[in-house]
Amino acid sequence: MPVTAYDLTGRTAFVTGAASGIGRSSAVLFARAGATVHCADRDEQGLHATTDLIKQEGGTAHAHPLDVSDRAQLTAAIATAARPPGADAGTGTGVGGLDIMAAIAGVMHSSPVLETRDEDLDRVFAINFKGILYACQEAARTMIANGTRGSIVTMASGAVDTGGPGLLCYGVAKAAVVQLTKTLATEVGPHGIRVNAVAPGWIRTPMTTRHDDRAQAHTESLMTRMAPLGRVGEPDEIAHAVLHLASDAASFTTGQILRPNGGVAMPW
């Protein structure tokens, strides 16, 4: 009998972008809820910092260094994650499979429409859309093959609601993630698989703080004035939204976009 709706004991979760920010927070929360967490990222150092953190807390985590825009790497890692424990040694008695996919890895890119180059669009689309598409496809195939009524959570962005200068490449890819989420939800719903997106507002992570102190200060003051909650968000606040959608607490929720954004946008 689960202690809370967020009890993921016995579940296997795969998290992309787990080396930093929202992905790291999500991986840690999944582990605290009892899941075995497979962490994927191209930042090997950050990835091991996340798995070390989970293990120090007594959780179970595995690291998969990979580039999410490479379908073959992602497919191989998901297959490894879904393998029954001990399968390699021929001693496996566990059930294996994959219960949760959180496709979170992404990059920021800003350039005005009139200065955007084909290579910018291709690079951002390859990571922010195709990287999520590949993860969703492999997760859904694995869940269907195993008869798992799993949960897939994708990472969109408040950029799809608000727009903004420079956001063409990033916003196009995130809008495509929203469409993927809704389309896949309709297609795999009959298998009992749920697919939802999280569309965060401005969150304090390396993505938003590493580049430009002035831009960060500007955003902080903008959020203070514009957001009903009067501040930027923290990675854990988004990870809790991811955890909710991944868990049985959201058992009747699919094809939805959850918007932890401090109230900046309130679409119907």
Ligand X SMILES: NC(=O)c1ccc[n+]([C@@H]2O[C@H](COP(=O)([O-])OP(=O)(O)OC[C@H]3O[C@@H](n4cnc5c(N)ncnc54)[C@H](O)[C@@H]3O)[C@@H](O)[C@H]2O)c1
How far is residue 11's CA from residue 5's CA, in Å, rounded to a whole number? 13
Examine residue 38 and tell whether it contacts ligand X (CB under 6 A). no
Q: Does 171 bind ligand X (CB under 6 A)?
A: no
Instruction: Indicate the residue among 148 and 177 with the shorter CB distance to ligand X.
Output: 177
Per rule CB under 6 A, is residue 260 in the interface with ligand X? no
Q: Is 21 in the site for ligand X (CB under 6 A)?
A: yes
- The answer to whether 125 contacts ligand X (rule: CB under 6 A) is no
Contact between 42 and ligand X (CB under 6 A)?
yes
In the list 33, 54, 101, 203, the residue contacting ligand X (rule: CB under 6 A) is 203
Residue 199 amino acid letter = A
Q: Are 261 and 234 in contact (CB under 8 A)?
A: no
Backbone angles phi and psi of 92, in degrees to 5: -65, 130
Which residues from 66-95 bind ligand X, rule CB under 6 A?
Answer: 67-69
- Taking CA atoms, 265 is separated from 14, 202, 226, 259, in Å, by 29, 11, 10, 8
Cβ nearer to ligand X, comparing 11 with 174: 174
Sheet with 194-198, edge to edge strand ranges: 60-65, 36-41, 12-16, 100-103, 151-155, 194-198, 257-258
Q: How far apart are CA 144 and CA 160, in angstroms?
A: 30
Query: Hey, what are 136's tokens?
Result: 């969703």
3-state secondary structure (DSSP) of residue 112:
coil
What b-and-e string marks burial along 168-181, b requiring 16 or more CB atoms within 10 Å of the CB? bbbbbbbebbbebb
6 classed as catalytic = no
Residue of 49, 53, 107, 121 interacting with ligand X (CB under 6 A) = 107
CB of 167 to ligand X, least distance (A): 11
Q: How far is the CB of 94 from ligand X (least distance, A)?
A: 27
> CB neighbours of 125 closer than 8 A, spacing ≥ 6?
169, 172, 173, 176
Q: By CB under 6 A, which span of 35-43, 133-141, 160-168, 242-250 interacts with ligand X?
A: 35-43
Using the rule CB under 6 A, is 139 a contact of ligand X?
no
Check 170, 181, 258, 264 and give the catalytic one.
170
Q: Does residue 102 bind ligand X (CB under 6 A)?
A: no
List interacting residues with ligand X (CB under 6 A). Answer: 17, 19-23, 41-43, 46, 67-69, 104-107, 127, 131, 155, 157-158, 200, 202-203, 205-208
Residues designated as active site? 170
